[in-house]
Structure 1
Amino acid sequence: MIRIGLVGVGKIAHDQHIPALAGDKRFQLVAAASRSLPDLGGIPVFYDIDEMLAKGPELDAVALCTPPQARRETALAALRAGKHVFLEKPPGATVSEVAELAAVAREHGVVLFTSWHSRFAAGVPQAKAWLASRHVRKLTIEWREDVRRWHPGQTWIWQAGGMGVFDPAINALSILTEIMPAEVFVTDAKLQVPENVQSPIAGHVDMTTLGGMAITADLDFLQTGPQTWDITAWTEDGVLKLSLGGAELTIDGTAVEVGENREYPGLYDRFATLIAEGRSEVDVRPLTLVADAFMVGTREVVEAFIE
């Protein structure tokens, strides 16, 4: 039994982490830390991680669901206390701080897991296997969703380090870096930033491989109606399409049976395995692509965002 504490009890914790932990017999949620001090049905809740570590029950691991801007210090406290750490995506506000956390995890002999939940979408493993032996000629990403629906009141997402539209779009990049047989590099980006915030609300990113394959990503945080989370790859053997964030897979328009979509249960299964093996899993490739898009991207100031 892995005794785990949850830090940051917001929407993603309630919607995904708590149910996933309840469904995995290897974990026992024994404490939480959140400034809102929510009622978790008898589970002790502390104001912050320092209070949880000092006054709470004994822990083996900590899952961090705080905004990325606050992640570094919280993760360092857990790692230095000898706890295995699960990082909600994105794993940090910068690429270098994740490298720092990995070094601290090694120093203290504990596991660090940079979780990318979209990689555990039902269609992703089969898409990766199908593309592995094929030449991908072109790939497009269309990631368009309604920020008011999925991130209500989450002002941190618009602040420096919050990533704006890249908070959901990094899910697409995590799938891309998982399924592509070759490494991917950013070549250009165009970012639209509302005049009253720090992070983009829409954008276009051009990428490539060493072989020169064209990859494009069109991102939008203002799409109403049906939401679009699609990745399409053209090969010599047909067109592969992942839809609904990777939950559905088609090849040349024919649906492929992929089974139940179990993203967060899959994450905690991986975390339990890593703990059992004493092995960290730290992958910053999706975050690096976002950082590169910010570095090379041109910025267009657009009208203010009002929730």
Structure 2
Amino acid sequence: MSDLLRIAIVGFGEIARRQHVPAIAKTSGAALVAVADPAQTPPGLPHFRDLQELLRDGPEIDAVALCTPPQIRHAQAAAALAAGKHVLLEKPPGATVAELSPLIAAAHQAGRTLFATWHSRYAPAVGPARKLLAGRTINKVTIIWKEDVRVWHPGQAWIFEAGGFGVFDPGINALSILTEILPRPLLVRSAMLDFPSNREAPIAAELELTDESGLPIRAEFDFRQTGPQTWDILCETDAGPVTLSKGGRQLRDGSMLVVDAADEEYPALYRRFVALTSDGKSDVDLVPLQLVADSFMLGRRRLVEAFED
């Protein structure tokens, strides 16, 4: 195997083009050498219609970054691991929780890395927020995570199909941050899920969560936000409010701005991937996915107006 981690992206949609390509280019020890996608043809790179064609006819690769919809990712990950490739899974790592366990076992048996990524945990203010909160008593947490699906997932009907997560596709980013910065495991207590009358996944959700200490946590997710987008987590503590905003790029301690940094989530994610493959380790945290699954299990379903992209 080459000292350079040769990566192929499978699924070349908006996030792959906007985030993965420039992140790989910034990552020492990694190179993008091919793309597999049935429709998108990136200039200057070998292109294949699907993973099978890539594995059969493509250049030598060491790893695949799966940026396809979650409904088909399990089969692709299994095929890549069977072919001896390291696998990076975009979030959410799969359409179900149970499908990840066989992949973890397959990666271990093959001696390859399986990396279930939670890119929002790599936002620059998340680590400092965890350290700040570690020395305080947290009394209440409020999450407001609202964005425009037409901006972030234009024409991507799969996100509103069964297994596509709907508003939990961005909402799981907030849950991945929350489980990183809070000290205790979280439990879902109730959920109200708004389903458009013509779709199979929710467009909005309201969650009530807690931990073993009884901490009240409320989360509001909405895919219908227009204008400025809102990605905020407010923690009310015994020493005043701590606010993570801009998806984890900005941190305030009361009125004092502690962190205000550019988005470098994906370069940090790929540095982690290179390190994992070098060390022969995997990283698969299923807790955010489990919280989403629990929200669907407990959630009351409310029909709202039809959604047309």
TM-score after normalising by structure 1: 0.98
> What is the CA distance between 1:37 and its match in structure 2?
4.3
Q: Deviations over 1:200-232 (max 9, x none)?
A: 011100100001100110111111111110001
- Percent identical pairs in the alignment equals 53
Q: Are the equivalent residues in 1 in contact too, given 2:35–2:42 (CA < 8 A)?
A: no
Residue type at the aligned position of 1:265: P
Match runs of 1:258-269 below 5 Å: 258-269=260-271
Partner of 1:8: 11
Partner of 1:95: 97
Partner of 1:289: 291
Residue type at the aligned position of 2:42: D
> What is the CA distance between 1:40 and its match in structure 2?
2.8
Residue type at the aligned position of 1:8: G
Residue type at the aligned position of 2:226: T
Partner of 1:139: 141
> What is the CA distance between 1:180 and its match in structure 2?
0.6
Does residue 1:204 correspond to 2:206, yes or no?
Answer: yes
Aligned counterparts of 1:32 and 1:257: Cα–Cα separation in 2: 36
Partner of 1:225: 227
Partner of 1:39: 42
Aligned counterparts of 1:302 and 1:286: Cα–Cα separation in 2: 26
Residue type at the aligned position of 2:200: Q
Partner of 1:215: 217
> What is the CA distance between 1:25 and its match in structure 2?
2.6
Aligned counterparts of 1:259 and 1:150: Cα–Cα separation in 2: 21
* Helix, strand or coil at the partner of 1:245: coil
Aligned counterparts of 1:57 and 1:10: Cα–Cα separation in 2: 21
* Helix, strand or coil at the partner of 2:59: coil
Residue type at the aligned position of 1:190: M
Partner of 1:67: 69
Aligned counterparts of 1:253 and 1:204: Cα–Cα separation in 2: 27
Match runs of 1:1-307 below 5 Å: 1-41=4-44, 43-307=45-309
Residue type at the aligned position of 2:9: L
Q: Are the equivalent residues in 2 in contact too, given 1:118–1:246 (CA < 8 A)?
A: yes
> What is the CA distance between 1:39 and its match in structure 2?
2.9
Residue type at the aligned position of 2:39: S
> What is the CA distance between 1:31 and its match in structure 2?
1.3
Q: Deviations over 1:7-34 (max 9, x none)?
A: 0011111100011111113111111110
Q: Deviations over 1:177-220 (max 9, x none)?
A: 11111111101000110110000011100100001100110111
> What is the CA distance between 1:251 and its match in structure 2?
0.7
* Helix, strand or coil at the partner of 1:174: helix
Aligned counterparts of 1:280 and 1:211: Cα–Cα separation in 2: 31
* Helix, strand or coil at the partner of 1:95: coil
Q: Deviations over 1:150-195 (max 9, x none)?
A: 1110100000000111001100000001111111110100011011
> What is the CA distance between 1:254 and its match in structure 2?
1.2
* Helix, strand or coil at the partner of 1:257: strand
Q: Are the equivalent residues in 2 in contact too, given 1:37–1:46 (CA < 8 A)?
A: no
* Helix, strand or coil at the partner of 1:229: strand
Aligned counterparts of 1:259 and 1:19: Cα–Cα separation in 2: 18
Aligned counterparts of 1:260 and 1:245: Cα–Cα separation in 2: 11
Q: Are the equivalent residues in 1 in contact too, given 2:10–2:66 (CA < 8 A)?
A: yes
Q: Are the equivalent residues in 2 in contact too, given 1:6–1:32 (CA < 8 A)?
A: yes
Residue type at the aligned position of 1:5: A
Residue type at the aligned position of 2:21: I
Q: How many residues were matched structurally?
A: 306
Aligned counterparts of 1:122 and 1:245: Cα–Cα separation in 2: 10
TM-score after normalising by structure 2: 0.97
> What is the CA distance between 1:137 and its match in structure 2?
0.9
* Helix, strand or coil at the partner of 2:212: coil
> What is the CA distance between 1:261 and its match in structure 2?
2.7
